[in-house]
Chains A and B, each alone.
Chain A
Amino acid sequence: MPDSKKELSPSKVLLFGTIIKNPILVQVIGLCPAVAASSSLTVALLLSFVTTVLLIICEVFASAVLKPLSSWFRVAVYMIMGLLFICPLMYILDEAGFAVVNNAGIYLPLMAANSVVALRCEKFAVKRNAFLSFYDALATGVGVSAVLILSGFVRELLGSGTVAGRAVFDFAPLPALTMPFGGFVVLGFSAAILKWFISAFLSEYSHDMPFKIKKAQKRRPQRVEEKAARPVLTAEKAVTPAAIKAEASDTAKAVIPDIPKGRESFADVLYNSMSADMFTAEDSFDDILAGISAESGGADNPPVTREDFSVSTDGNGDAPREEAERVIIPVDLDLVEEQEISRAIASGDEGGSAD
């Protein structure tokens, strides 16, 4: 499908869905019915009808209703919708005595789990309006149907010597074509013909149909300057927000050993609440020290100085960075002491401003 939303128009959606980005031959989705089930024309016609109608129902519904739901849940909804459409149809056709249901075998109910539906809904419908989604569903359905019908016709003709059950040859020229092997062969040649057609007549949309193996990205070697620029955690611990968070995380892990990955851990909550309650970004290190001294200082207690907190941000002995100075939390104190300090700072600030 066209990537840019600006370029989208119904005609372009139709062109892309059926030819340029044919779901089976180019996008390699929904192969199961094309490979295994389309060994006869009648089954191919039934599966084409089911796929197209199911795509239209699911894409329009997904576009109109399912957008607020999570992606993982929508996938389940698509399958339920498929079952709601296919199983009653299967029941009715079976009761009416249509042999095509038996010929299709388990491939008819399997259409409910077809990847074409889920992928088109997720990649297109939930990002666009119902009108364009309808066109996309129609185009994708036509694209799938064209391949299924072509495959069904060729495989039945050459594999069984018949077309829609009527004898054309007295013998079966290539019986192996009725097997999945035949399906893949027909798809391979169809994809090659489509590629040639696009490059010959729709050259502006020509592409190489790449199928590249994703390789693991190599880590970029770290430069020496980058390493030197980083604050180094010494034995005294650098007092930076990251170091505080790491310390809080270690403390939390000691209390709660199994912190679920990917969630806001106890350490995160602790750190966020601490930094929000205790200090603001504007508090400088000296302001905080002055506040603590004002609260706890007296004739018996000497004033609190920088040395009491053992601040170090760099292994090279450089001056502490500005960022490190702005948020200072004495990480080796327990929470009760920190709260006391917090109150002390608050009262100290008030006193300072009053002065």
Chain B
Amino acid sequence: MSGFFNMIQAALFTIFVQNLVFNGGYGSSEAIRMSAKPKRFLPFSIMIAYFSTVTAVICRALDNIKEIGKQNEAVHSAVFGVVLVLIYIATALLLKITLAPNKKFLSTLGISAVNTLVYAVPLINRRAGYGYIESIGTGIGSGFAFIVALLLINAGLRMLESNKNIPRPFKGTPAMFLYVAMLSLAFAGFAGSPLFA
């Protein structure tokens, strides 16, 4: 039972306190670009959660192997990256055989697998010394953190789109960057970061 709560705790920490998109900038370009496509929020976030969780668990298992565990950061990064690529290829092949998805779906699958957010999860887990349960929690949490980011950015985009008082040079992308900056500041406050010390 305590394992389950540890997992939930790690997931909630990843979503709200250490929101990887706003507090770490991981996958921020995917979040901003995807926020303008509400129909793809859920599938994309599910894919992110899937790849993060599976990669995190396998990488955690590999870390237990002595020969890999004692290596330095560069070797770990290479091993984790290869694991992510293999998981992506295996998933894509499996889907191609069973569901025969169209090109657009496979393209979305590629973006959701090969991005900084998914790749960062096992690296962060290793630095934080997380076990299997926490790794699953951060994997699932990263998917939810991503959807929270999408919803918040999408809500802001709608307001920015209807706001006629924005100066012309700031209209569009610049205003959106500043809006995301405010969100990032808010999440930094959640994490207890000292802003003016």
CB of A209 closer than 8 Å to a CB of B:
yes
CB of A257 closer than 8 Å to a CB of B:
no
Let me know if B100 and A29 touch, CB within 8 A: no
Let me know if A35 and B25 touch, CB within 8 A: yes
Report the interface size class on chain A: 35 or more
Contacts of A233 in B (CB 8 A): none
Most A CB contacts (10 A, CB to CB) among B23, B30, B37, B180 go to B180
With contacts A188-B174, A188-B181 taken as known, whether A106 is within 8 angstroms of B124 at the C-beta atoms is yes
With contacts A76-B88, A181-B188 taken as known, whether A31 is within 8 angstroms of B25 at the C-beta atoms is yes
CB of B178 closer than 8 Å to a CB of A:
yes
Let me know if B188 and A87 touch, CB within 8 A: no
Stretch at the interface among A112-120, A273-281, A337-345: A112-120
With contacts A32-B27, A175-B197, A262-B102 taken as known, whether A113 is within 8 angstroms of B178 at the C-beta atoms is no
Identify B78's interface contact among A37, A83, A118, A212, CB under 8 A.
A83
Let me know if B119 and A113 touch, CB within 8 A: yes
Let me know if B101 and A216 touch, CB within 8 A: no
CB of B43 closer than 8 Å to a CB of A:
no
CB of B44 closer than 8 Å to a CB of A:
no
Main SS of the interface on chain A? helix
Contacts of B110 in A (CB 8 A): 71-72, 75-76, 118
Which residues of chain B in 154-197 are interfacial with respect to chain A, using CB atoms and an 8 Å cutoff? 154, 157-158, 160-161, 169-178, 180-181, 184-185, 188, 193-197
Let me know if A261 and B103 touch, CB within 8 A: no
Contacts of B22 in A (CB 8 A): 180
Report the minimum CB–CB distance from A46 to chain B (whole Å): 14
Let me know if B154 and A213 touch, CB within 8 A: yes
With contacts A115-B30, A181-B188 taken as known, whether A208 is within 8 angstroms of B157 at the C-beta atoms is no
Let me know if B185 and A181 touch, CB within 8 A: yes
Stretch at the interface among A131-139, A189-197, A247-255, A320-328: A189-197
Complex CA distance for A79 and B86, rounded to whole angstroms: 11
**Residue in A closest to B110 when the chains form the complex, CB atoms:** A75
CB of A143 closer than 8 Å to a CB of B:
no
Identify A180's interface contact among B24, B173, B176, CB under 8 A.
B24
Which residues of chain B in 46-65 are interfacial with respect to chain A, using CB atoms and an 8 Å cutoff? none
